Amino acid sequence: MRFLPLFALVLAAISTPALAQLGSHERRMAEVVEREQARNVELLERLVNRNSGTLNLAGVRAVAELVRAELEPLGFTVRWIDMAETGRAGHLIATHRGMQRRNARAAPNILLIGHLDTVFEPDSPFQRFVRDGNRATGPGIGDDKGGIVVIVAALRAMHQAGTLRGANITIVLTGDEERPGAPIEVARRDLIAAGREADFALEFENLAREDGRDAATIARRSSTSWTLTTRGRTGHSSGVFGQSLGYGAIYEMARILDAFRRELPEPNLTYNVGVIAGGTPATIDGDGFRVTASGKTNIVAEQAVARGDLRTLSVEQDRRVRERMQAIVAQHLPQTQAELAFAADGYPPMAPTEGNRALLTRLNTVNRDLGLPEMPEYDPARRGAADSSFVAADVDTLAGLGVAGGGAHAEGEWIELDSITRPARRMAVFMSRLSLERGR
């Protein structure tokens, strides 16, 4: 009896009849992804073990060089966009221009989005890749180094099956997704430009799972910070509520925040208060993270400050809610003033669109042909903001196509290692099919 290689046995176990709907090149891609699982895990380990906290500029650049070494042999032209002007390392942009088919328009341009940085700076105690069977932990292992590995694995499969030859693919891996540089229009300039040139955009942040099934992200909410400052007349507390002193800064702050709580709620909207202080005086630092205050029980507070965030699902919702918040702020208590300011460097919403849903329908055809469950739409209220939001207004976009795991942004962040192969096979087939269509 002849023994098949291990990868062939694994492939046979999942492919009959699951892969029967695939073409020969597509079966080849599925085979390559399965066979290279050990290689993919080894690449993931190397990426994770190189610290790339957003403010570790040399570390971010080093991770970019590891990715460059993977992409250039596949025919990609890789360039580094320095972002010293925003206080960040920079971005990796890689392009692959496919051979045009005879008597046909060029293949569509597919934009792949991910990021090189993590929230774990060099002073974090959480620094190393650790494997325990099918589970592995490490800083940024799912957010977003696992996503980078899925991109590389899918492209390697396309390359070996010959389908990458005709594909037009642009990859943008930002170096500051976790703490964007400023001004934001400079920090995301190149990503936005790539989105305007793309026919489809695919983002490789963490894969959502629901009831044991992979779920699709067709929408993400915005993320914008705000600062609320209130002022009042200060004096002896015996005069509080009176005509001369009024209510003071803290009561004005309480009025506004409670009105937000009561009057603003609607689907897909949140507005968190993250830090607050009040007294005589009360201040917040330039970064907006640390507050100081002092005061006495018999003194009416002169100042109060609070900082929070606002998350919305559409540009229309964002505009409407901001206007309502400002209207609430303007209804001052006697002898008080208040000002609400929104930061200019937030993430826009990625609204659910029919184009995004149509793209998901096509992806679910690939899932069926691979013998995988179809991916339902994931509740956008359960997802954070991401770089895909900067391109979604210009191009049909699917997000959250990376690896499955949990604990992102916390020590102990983990993934299921077999979740590399599932999205990599899915994306290799999907991108290959998209590349057979006509571009703009």
* 121 pLDDT higher than 90: yes
Does residue 177 surpass a pLDDT of 60?
A: yes
Return the axis-axis angle of helices 24-35 and 6-15, rounded to nearest 10°.
130
Q: What is the pLDDT of residue 384?
A: 87
Alpha carbon 312 to chain centroid distance? 15
Alpha-carbon distances of 393 from 193, 233, 318, rounded to whole Å: 12, 46, 14
> How much is the average pLDDT of 144-160?
98
pLDDT of 3 reads 41
Averaged pLDDT for residues 73-97: 98
Rounded to 10 degrees, the C-alpha dihedral 203/310/269/219 comes to: -10
Distance between CA atoms of residues 105 and 120, nearest Å? 45
Residue 5 has pLDDT above 80, yes or no: no
pLDDT at 101: 58
Please give the pLDDT value at position 106. 80
The pLDDT of 92-98, averaged and rounded, is 96
* Measured distance CA(401)–CA(147) in Å, rounded: 7
Average pLDDT of the residues in 219-237: 97
Domain chopping of the chain, boundaries? 6-220+349-435, 224-342
SS3 per-residue string spanning 260-292? HHHHCCCCCCEEEEEEEEEECCEEECCCCCCEE
Alpha-carbon distance of 256 to 276, in angstroms, equals: 13
Residue 438 has a pLDDT of 75
Of the ranges 69-73, 99-103, 115-119, 402-406, which one carries the lowest mean pLDDT score? 99-103
- Residue 6 pLDDT level (bands cut at 50, 70, 90): very low
Name residue 368's beta-bridge partners. Answer: none
42 vs 45: CA distance, rounded Å: 5
What is the model's pLDDT at position 440? 64
Q: Answer whether residue 365 shows pLDDT above 50.
A: yes
Do 118 and 53 form a contact (C-beta atoms < 8 A)?
yes
Q: Which residues of 161-187 are buried (b: 16+ CB within 10 A; e: fewer)?
A: bebbebbbbbbbbbbbbbebbbebeeb
Per-residue pLDDT reduced to its tens digit, 306-334? 999 999 999 999 999 999 999 999 999 99
Q: How far apart are CA 136 and CA 93, in angstroms?
A: 28
- What is the structure's pLDDT at 21? 81
Q: What pLDDT sits at residue 264?
A: 98
Residues 6+ apart with CB under 8 A from 144: 114, 115, 116, 118, 177, 204, 205, 206, 402
Q: Mean pLDDT throughout 334-352?
A: 95
pLDDT digits (tens, 9 = 90+) for 373-413: 999 999 999 988 999 999 999 999 999 999 999 999 999 99
Return the closest-CA partner of residue 45 out of 172, 146, 116: 146
Q: 288 — phi, psi (to 5°)?
A: 80, 20
For range 78-93, the mean pLDDT: 98
The span from the CA of 181 to the CA of 186, in Å, is: 8
Rounded alpha-carbon distances, angstroms, from residue 19 to 15, 26, 324: 4, 9, 53
Q: What is the DSSP string of 164-231?
A: GGG-EEEEEEES-SSS--SSHHHHTHHHHHHHHH-SEEEE-SPBEEETTEEEBB--B--BEEEEEEEE
Instruction: Quickly state the pLDDT bin for 7 (edges 50, 70, 90).
Output: very low
CATH code matching the domain that covers 224-342, chosen among 3.40.1170.10, 2.40.10.10, 3.40.1260.20, 3.30.70.360: 3.30.70.360
The kind and range of the H/E element at 398 are strand 396-398
* Average pLDDT estimate for 411-432: 97
State mean pLDDT over 252-256. 98
Residue 82 pLDDT: 98
* Rg, Å, the chain Cα set: 25
Q: Is the pLDDT of residue 189 over 90?
A: yes
Give the pLDDT confidence score for residue 9 in this predicted structure.
Answer: 44
Q: What percentage of residues in the chain have a pLDDT greater than 70?
A: 94
pLDDT of residue 239: 96
Whole-prediction pTM? 0.90
Please check whether residue 143 is in contact with residue 126, taking contact to mean a CB–CB distance below 8 angstroms: no
- Strands (E) in 83-167, as ranges, are 90-96, 109-115, 130-132, 135-137
Per-residue pLDDT band at 225 (split at 50, 70, 90): very high
- In sign, the C-alpha dihedral spanning 262, 264, 268, 271 is negative
Please give the CATH number for the structural domain made up of 6-220+349-435: 3.40.630.10
For residue range 10-48, what is the model confidence (pLDDT) as tens digits?
444 444 445 558 899 999 999 999 999 999 999 999 999
Longest dimension (CA), the chain: 98
CB 151 within 8 A of CB 158: no
At residue 298 the predicted structure's pLDDT band, cuts being 50, 70 and 90, is very high
Tokens 């590891």, located at residue: 66
pLDDT of 287? 79
